Structure 1
Amino acid sequence: MAKKLDPRITNREFKLLLEPEDLDHRSKVNVLIGKVRAFCEREEVDFFHLDNASTGLRNVFFFDTPGEDFRHNKLILRVRESRSNVWVDDWCEVTLKCRSDSLKESLSYDPTPNTKYKYRRRLKEEILRGDGIGSVRTIYSNNAIMDSIPVEDVFERNFLSITENFPDLKRLKLPKNLPVRVVGGRVNKILEANLPLGNLSFGDQVHAHCDLAIWMRNVGEPLVGELAFAYRVNDENRDDKKAHKRADKFFLNLQHAIANWLATGSTKTALVYGKPE
């Protein structure tokens, strides 16, 4: 950690999975916010809490072939449908990512879409908890994110339609009519609640947004939580080793500060598949 960042990295994200029990209760969330605020004071990291932030809701689901060919090739195809209260919007976000412990392997597929819609490219360094408290595991996520896609235009449910949207996936050499389905079926769709907690400052040019996400089968049935903070990497802050090191240390020490809140596991995606990533 705190090594010189690869010049291709665009984002750093630090993620901790949380035990789900009562995490959908506002009182418990307030306790967690209090712990984060007190920890920031001890670490002398500025925390600008968002007192009146609203919670966003969205459906999250993943697509794969029956044999999970995407997963076996370190590929993740995710759709997020935003919700306004009970109503699902007519627009969604579609993301294809190649994610691996190896930066080289994460770059082995080009997720750039063939689309008329706007999209963003991101190469993320994701820092996760390792096997024990105060440990880390780093993975790399090579992303293309399409925003504001009409739900009916996402794609048909076969491999050919996927490759029409993401041409480089043709290299998988799968049958064109191979079905591509929601992982685990429609009952495996996740309801995600996301609450912005505030902003953390690790240096003059390194400011991270801190968020709490809760994944639920339905309202009142939390599956897992995630406390995360992330920041953009750019030409102004890429070589600020002191700030990156401060963020690394903050992540390690935070695990000890909220140790009894932490859940085992690697990523939320692994939970949906029911298999380690």
Structure 2
Amino acid sequence: MPDFPAGPSNSPRDDIHYHEYKILLRPERFTSPKAFKDFWRVAQRVAKHFDVQLEEGPHAFKSQVREVLFFDTPNFDLYNNHFIVRLRTLYREGWPSGTPELTVKFRHPEFERAAQVDVRPALAGQTRIKFKEELLPLEDRLGEIRSIYSHNSVLALPRDVMNFALQNITHAFPAFRAIQQKNDAPIELVNDMAVEEVQVNVGVAHFDHHYKGKTTIALWRSRKLEQPVCGEFAFQCKFNKAEQVHASTADRAKAFHKELQQTAADWVLLGTTKTALVYSLSNKPVVKHE
């Protein structure tokens, strides 16, 4: 096998530069495109109460379709060691558009564990290192928030190079070499499931002091079964340094997130994540990342 060229020089221990607020939504609520607008109206009512501006984009409810695939060993050695391998491809009018995007992430509820993992690839390409704090509802009740820390490497590669990287994932990402069980195991599509993601980029949520987040609503469907898996409302705020985020502004974003959970209680799906739902389709034991 040929050697991979050296990758980019991003710091392996990045500071957090993103807060991504997520609420998983019940799949049965999404029976038509109208569901996106229905949930947006609920969010608008809550935003008004907290003086949060939800700026609606000019193409707010134009659907974007992506294929989402997860890869792992047959025994889920990557996921059980808190790694996720995801391949995402944008489609336009039924055809792949642009370069596929491979994301390798280490996700853990402890900041230090997530920060110390070097997710940089050992191959050339347009790579972004993204360290996020993901904020979600508690597993068992509404109106509170828990955090998961996600250290991500996002790599854009031509399809043939991408396929080669997936087949040789241990060599492509040195962080995987510590997972001994995986070394001789094949990498395959998780649970033979291809996800069709239908997403609307609704606009931007403005909280104050330049703290704002791209806001989306998405539906995940199983292409194999033609069934909805879940929906999701999310907004992601980017910043240079966490200490530059005003405490009152962060508190407002969290208060909005908490109240939206309660106001939209009949929409909310608790106790899981999108990725966990894909892995749960088999009877194999998996480690909870949350």
TM-score by length of 1: 0.89
Give the 3 Å change call, closer, same or farther, for CA 67–242 of structure 1 in structure 2.
same
Q: How do 1:153-164 residues align onto structure 2 when only pairs under 5 Å count?
A: 153-156=161-164, 161-164=168-171
The match for 1:134 is: 143
Task: Please point out which of 180, 191, 195 is paired with 2:200.
Answer: 195
8 Å CA contact 2:46, 2:256 repeated in 1: no
8 Å CA contact 1:24, 1:220 repeated in 2: no
User: Residues of 2 paired with 1:62 and 1:220: CA distance?
Assistant: 18
The match for 2:21 is: 14
TM-score by length of 2: 0.86
- Comparing 254-263 with 167-176, greater Cα deviation is found at 167-176
Q: Aligned pair 1:212/2:204, yes or no? A: no
User: Residues of 1 paired with 2:135 and 2:199: CA distance?
Assistant: 19
The match for 2:6 is: none
User: Residues of 2 paired with 1:25 and 1:141: CA distance?
Assistant: 32
Q: How do 1:164-203 residues align onto structure 2 when only pairs under 5 Å count?
A: 164-174=171-181, 176-185=183-192, 188-203=193-208
The match for 1:74 is: 82
3-state SS in 2 of match to 1:21: helix
8 Å CA contact 1:157, 1:179 repeated in 2: no
8 Å CA contact 1:109, 1:169 repeated in 2: no
3-state SS in 1 of match to 2:237: strand
- Comparing 24-33 with 115-124, greater Cα deviation is found at 24-33
Give the number of equivalent residue pairs.
268
3-state SS in 2 of match to 1:154: helix
8 Å CA contact 1:158, 1:176 repeated in 2: no
User: Residues of 2 paired with 1:222 and 1:270: CA distance?
Assistant: 15
Shift of 1:74: 0.5
Shift of 1:237: 6.7
8 Å CA contact 1:206, 1:237 repeated in 2: no
How much identity, in percent, do the aligned residues show? 27
User: Residues of 2 paired with 1:123 and 1:38: CA distance?
Assistant: 31
Any unmatched runs of 5+ in structure 1? 1-5
Shift of 1:155: 3.6
Any unmatched runs of 5+ in structure 2? 1-12, 281-285
Shift of 1:71: 1.1
Q: How do 1:39-78 residues align onto structure 2 when only pairs under 5 Å count?
A: 39-53=46-60, 54-78=62-86
User: What is the root-mean-square deviation in Å for CA atoms of aligned residues?
Assistant: 2.2
**One-letter amino acid of the counterpart of residue 274, structure 2:** K
Shift of 1:221: 2.5
**One-letter amino acid of the counterpart of residue 253, structure 2:** A
Q: Aligned pair 1:267/2:267, yes or no? A: no
- Comparing 131-140 with 216-225, greater Cα deviation is found at 216-225
Shift of 1:115: 2.0
3-state SS in 1 of match to 2:44: helix
3-state SS in 2 of match to 1:134: coil
User: Residues of 1 paired with 2:243 and 2:31: CA distance?
Assistant: 36
User: Residues of 1 paired with 2:144 and 2:111: CA distance?
Assistant: 20
User: Residues of 2 paired with 1:76 and 1:233: CA distance?
Assistant: 24
CA deviation vs aligned residue, 1:222-275 (integer Å, no higher than 9, x gap): 210000111102149724111111111111111111111111232100000005
Give the 3 Å change call, closer, same or farther, for CA 164–243 of structure 1 in structure 2.
same
Shift of 1:121: 0.6
8 Å CA contact 2:73, 2:182 repeated in 1: no
- Comparing 228-237 with 241-250, greater Cα deviation is found at 228-237
User: Residues of 2 paired with 1:236 and 1:180: CA distance?
Assistant: 36
8 Å CA contact 2:14, 2:115 repeated in 1: no
Q: Aligned pair 1:144/2:144, yes or no? A: no
3-state SS in 2 of match to 1:44: coil
3-state SS in 2 of match to 1:250: helix
3-state SS in 2 of match to 1:260: coil
